[in-house]
Structure formats: structure tokens, C-alpha cells
Chain A
Amino acid sequence: MATRSRLRSTRLLVVVLVTASLAIITIDYRQGQGGPLEGLGRGAQTAMAPLQRAAETVTRPVGNFLSGLAHLPSLEGDNQTLREQLADAQTQLTTDQELQQRVATLEDLLGLRGTLDPEAVPAVVIGNGVSNFDWTITIDKGSSDGIAVGQPVVTGSSTSPRLVGIVVSVTPVSSDIELLIDQHFQVAGRLSTSGETGLVQGQGEQDLSMGLISPDAQVDLNSDQPVEVFTVSYEINGEHGRFPPDILIGEVASVVKNSNTLETSVTVRPAVDFSALQYVLVLHTGRSEGGPG
């Protein structure tokens, strides 16, 4: 008798919890941004940020060591490739310096502004997404440092930035960044060789896909120069894109063959190694909230 009543109370408990979960899913779907759950979520993130920061400081060396072990088999090959690339780069450098000077003079003449806003907030990565279906990172700067939802995030330096992602939520002390490999991420891209534009979309752990390229575009992967993809700026009805131009997104890895003659699509390997990302720059662009890339 006692067992049966305990069984019944367990069942009741589960029904209550399942109902609560379903209610949360429904409320979250209907409320969109700025509802009560959003506030609760932000509270939880604010509370977790200092703990994450502490844990990150302690565990970073351990994580680095272990992920280094995981990458060990590929290190030898990487080393060889890098040596070859270095030799190539050094020859390239001499020619480039000359070009650089010419470009600098021309830019001065035209009075071009730097492509990036000089206001960039450096931040430390203190956490990663908590699930296999969530490609985000958490950084240690938030709204009190002037970070707002919709600001682009890069790594590297302000002169040669590589795209990381975009700010999707902020608390006073931390922010969440949606990485460009996230399945909801979209950005307009431009091929370095032909200047053709297209739409770059995240694919999770796989390479990014870039579609909507003109079918006439020639993408030659056999030449010495890698085909790189950069962000482009555009303006539609007075609305600017979210990303400043000329941020490196990645390198074209393959051309997707299909019978569709209306567009060409390629896969793009991101320029950033997200598993080793430690420092990022958040760019203060004039416009923050807004639609896709």
C-alpha cells in the first residue's frame, strides 16, 4: 500500500515537472525578447559569470594541455605546412612592403577612414556554450563596459581582424557571443579573388556554407593564393549591415557541385580556431540591434 502511494506521488511529481517544462517552452516561444524568462536567464548568467571567470583561470592550463594532447597527431603535419607557408610568406613580404607603401599613400590621398571603428573593447573568454547544440562563448565584459546586443566580435588586431561572431545577450558583467559557426548565424561575404558576394551561414561543427554566389563566379582552388572570404558592408533602404567591411571570415575549402545553375555555393573554413579562443575584441559599431548580416 505504502509502495503504491509513493509510486503515485512520484508520478504526480513527474507530471508536474513535465508540465512546468512545457509551460516554460511555450512562454519562451511566445514572449520573444524582454519577457520575464529573459530576465531570469540574465540573472542566472550574471550569477554564473564570476564563478566561470574563477573556474576558467584555474582550468585553462589543464584544458590547454588536454586539448593539446587531443591535437597531437595533427601537430607534425601542421608544423611542416607552417614551415612551407613561412618560406612563401617571407618572399611575399618583400613585394608586399612595396605595395603597402603605395596603398598607404593612395589611402592618405583619398582620405579614407579606417575600416574599423577605433573603439574596440578587448575581452577575455570565460566560458563556452554548455551544450552540443549551442555554439556560443561568454566573455568577461558586459553592458557596464558599453557592450550591447548586435555588436560584432572579432579577434586578432583592429588592423587585421578575423570574425568571431556577434553579441546576443548582455548582463552588466558578462556577454554571450553567438559564434559564426552557430546554425543561426548569417553574414554577407565577399570572395577575395573575384569580389563576388554571397551569404555565409554557420553549420555547427562543419565548415561554413556560402551560397547565393553568382553562377558565373570562377572559384579557382588550385592556384597558390588561397581564396579568402571577407565581410562586406552594404546599405539597404538606409539600413547598414551589422558588420564593418573587410573582416576575414575564412578560406574557401571546397566548391559544392550541384545541378542548380542559379547560384554557386562553396564551403568556408573559419579563420578562427574556436576551441583555442582566449581574447576577443568587441567593436562598437554605430548601429546595434537589427536583422541578419
Chain B
Amino acid sequence: MVRRVLSLTAVVVTALLLQSTVFGQLRLLGVRPELLYLVTIVIALLEGPNEGAVVGFAGGLMQDFLMNQPKGITALTLTLLGYAVGMLRQFITSPSPLLPTVVVGVGTAAGIAFYEIVSLLLGNLDMTAAYGVKVAVLTAVYNAVLTPILYPLLRRISEGSRPRRVVRF
């Protein structure tokens, strides 16, 4: 259990760190990837709604604290995203290796759209609908492209930290 919490914390902190340094400069068409969305969706896919919601909440809150924006909106978005993806997991039966990529893409777009709507309702975001859609779509594509690289890594970490794992010699 402790091992599990530690490795998930390490994943979230690393994602935040990369997000605020290297991926901040790697903008494509003015948009950067959202690693925390990717991590939340992949963990929810691998582990289920409980872990998805908790990782989403913790990661979102940490990201909120590093932003010059009202706190709590990312935490809310990622909690719901993690839970939703975790619940949807039971309806997905396709064994396709492309599955995580598609889920990350769709999930990111939905999550960003939700974040934009909440920010807009709180009067914090001032932008045109076209720009909002552009950010959601491009971020989703960017995240989807990163998934084949990061998914195997996250799966290894998540499986390695599972309790009662089989030890092979």
C-alpha cells in the first residue's frame, strides 16, 4: 500500500515537473500537452475508478497550487475524469493496442472542455468559443500522440506497485 502511494505520488510529481519545464516550451500551434490529464486517464484505465479519482484529485490540486488561477477547478475536473474513465472501463472490451490512445484523446478533450466551461461560469476565462475548441482538440491530439510512449511506462509502474504481486526468480 505504502509502495503504491509512493510510486503514484512520484508519477504525479514527475508529470507536473515535466509539464512546467520541458513541455512548457514544446508548444505545437500554441498549445502544450496536459500530462496530468494523460496520467489520470491512464491510471483510471489501468486501476479503476477509485485510483482514477484519487490520482486526479491529488494531481489536479497540486497543479492548481502552481497556477495563477482560482484553485480547485483542475482538481474537480480530474476527479470526475478519473472516476468517469474508471467506470467506463468495464464497458470496454476491445483488446486493440490503440485503445489507450483513443481513450486518452477523447478523455482529454472532454476534460479540457469541462475545465473551460467551469472557468467560464466562474467568470475567470475570457475567450471565444472557437479558441476553446481549438485548445481542447489540439491538446487531445497532443496527449494522444504521447500515449503510446508513456502508456507502457505507466503500466509497468502501476503493475510493479500492485500488492501481492508474483515474485519470479
B-binding residues in A (CB < 8 A): 9-10, 13-14, 17-18, 20-26, 28-29, 37, 40-41, 44-45, 48, 51-52, 55-56, 59, 62-64, 66-67, 70, 126-134, 136, 138, 168-169, 176, 178, 182-183, 204-206, 275-276
Contacts and interface: CB of A to CB of B under 8 A. Distances in A.
A63 to B, nearest CB: 4
A29 B122 contact: yes
A63 B26 CA distance: 7
Nearest to B127: A204
Interface string B1-41: 00000000000010011111110111110111010100000
A25 B17 contact: no
A24 B34 contact: no
B131 A55 contact: no
**What is the predominant secondary structure among interface residues of chain B facing chain A?**
helix
Contacts of A10: 48-50, 53, 83, 86
B57 A17 contact: yes
B85 interface: no
A66 to B, nearest CB: 6
B62 interface: yes
Nearest to A277: B25
Contacts of A56: 21
Given A55-B17, A132-B32, A13 B53 contact: yes
Contacts of A178: 68
B69 A131 contact: yes
Nearest to B115: A133
A183 B69 CA distance: 11
Interface string B52-88: 0110110011111111111111111001100100100
Interface string B92-123: 00000000000000000000100110010010
B119 A133 contact: yes
A134 B68 contact: yes
Contact of B66 (A26, A45, A275): A45
Nearest to A44: B65
B66 A18 contact: no
Given A63-B26, A130-B66, A275-B25, A138 B71 contact: no
9 contacts: A14-B80, A17-B57, A21-B72, A25-B76, A51-B13, A55-B17, A59-B21, A134-B69, A205-B131
B125 interface: yes
A72 B139 CA distance: 21
Given A44-B62, A129-B68, A59 B20 contact: no
A128 B24 CA distance: 5
A131 B21 contact: no
Contact of A14 (B62, B83, B126): B83
A134 B67 contact: yes
Contact of A130 (B19, B76, B127): B19
Listed residue (B28, B54, B68) with the most chain A CB atoms within 10 angstroms of its CB: B68
Contacts of A22: 72, 76
Nearest to A31: B71
B135 interface: yes
A164 B25 CA distance: 16
Contacts of A59: 18, 21-22
Contacts of B61: 21, 24
A25 B70 contact: yes
A168 B79 contact: no
Nearest to A43: B65
A48 B20 contact: yes
A271 B17 CA distance: 28
